[in-house]
Structure 1
């Protein structure tokens, strides 16, 4: 609740929305008391030149201020109502004073609510009535013996009217700007949430697709050799147990970031230093992988992306290629980018271990997030190639 009050724009309190009820009774009551007291002193200062405050004048002051209770819900009728009551008050010859504050607040509320023409029309109508009374009808209206108002006084009133309208327009512009900024902040928050969901989806896909592919292959080996070669079947089951344990650990790490957002992960994210381990896992699935080149030092995000790209590429070889050999080549190139090339000799088998076909899309998203690129497709001499180019620079530079 305190945070919501802190984020409330300043004009909300001016308009009387601070009590949260939609009925600004506190500000209306305070303004009514101020107008009554101020008009009392104004009457003493203008004694002899204007009519004194009687019961009818007090009623008009209450009516002018009391209408402001509805200024948030019915701003147009309120601005015309306060202008009309104020015009009647002035036409009856009562003293000038803080009664104009009621019109100012009503005009302000109408403009901020988007009813600019209505507010201008009401204020303009009040000024026109005042000119008519002060320079023509004063002969027949109280107080008796009154003279025409000076044009200097009219200039002062006109200046006050212009100031009221200008202040209301400024508040309207500030309100629109604040609402636009609030919408932009909400959109940015939604975008960050979408990006985080996409990141987690990619992590889960890469972890589960690789591990389940290994389990799928080893389960087939175990079933085929269960009777003829129990020892080899035992090895396959051991591999399944190891792969599933590792997958559970990585999934738990990803889910921990959901439960405690912003906290540091309990285990470091995988990187290219774990490529030998990845090669062993691929070997357990029947795929021989040859590593070429040395992994350079990368920022954590790029290191994780490079590892996941290699992992997904090898998983696709296991699932979709008839080749049992693959080659992973690391090439720092001109030391500004890392080239990852994963080849297999094919041919494609069309076999699928249950994937959803999102592997290549996930690899492209990872590379694009770092300012890199992915090219994937059949090789001219057969087989399939995945070529990734990742920039060797800090992730904060990519964000800028």
Structure 2
């Protein structure tokens, strides 16, 4: 994860503004946005009652003010339609000189959503239209308040620019994570290629070093057998002893050559492979996910003595689970990572409360397959799937005595 420092340096604003991500209309998103619209409506009512900024709303004013909040339930799935509906309510509200501050939050949130869910060109056109309508309305109803019109237009432009910035920032985060993942896969593929080349080299070395010795042993054994069978009554003990001594010398020489070959193989593999990632790298993974806007709760208990291969498998599983959660979980995401030792095994759990990708028509990628292979490489098991209460869960059990090496 060589790109982690870049992620940390560039995503401080995303932590605050992750709630307005662009996600398709799902039941969970509709529910969350409806709750958000309700809370915003309560704030608007409080402002309308407590703030003296125009006339207190009457029946028409309350209808316009509260009606402007209803479309917010669909703000991320239909941002432009929501903008039209909100504008249709708040422009008459302002024109009748009701408490102006009460309608400001819903208008700003709508503009921000349009900017953060679309291309910069759409945000620019939206800004031109909204600012133009604002200038026109104020020119018709209060032409003497030029400074106020300029101030309002500045806030509108600032909100649109903020939405564009957050959208570009989010795209940057995704690209950095994808680049890091591709780089990791490239390194793993290169490692596998080197292992295959090393196997071929060892096969050639074993053939060159041992084939001659084994052939000599066979010939010398045949000589000894021939001497014993040729004339048992006139057994040439010296010849038999010499043949056996030659066999022993050849075996010692072959054993020494085999040992030297294995030592070279072991040293070269360790040098090429380098240190394995382990549990001590989990805080960096958690910090990377936090900088993408998610809240991450990392709990590592009694897992410090895990073997390197098991620690590396746990690291890769958590890495893939966090990447999937950040990519598919949606805004306002909370991820809980638990690592603990229980029953001679390392238990890894990663849960989130995001929307995930759980629909039956979705074609899964290679992430879950890779995590299961990681678990199997050390003799463990892995389960993954949506939770009943919402979100996604990954649970792995990795024996502390691994079976085989990490692939």
Which has the larger Rg?
1
Larger relative contact order (Cα-Cα within 8 Å, sequence gap ≥ 6)? 2
Which TM-score applies when normalising by structure 2? 0.48
Question: Which protein has the bigger helix share?
Answer: 2
Which TM-score applies when normalising by structure 1? 0.49
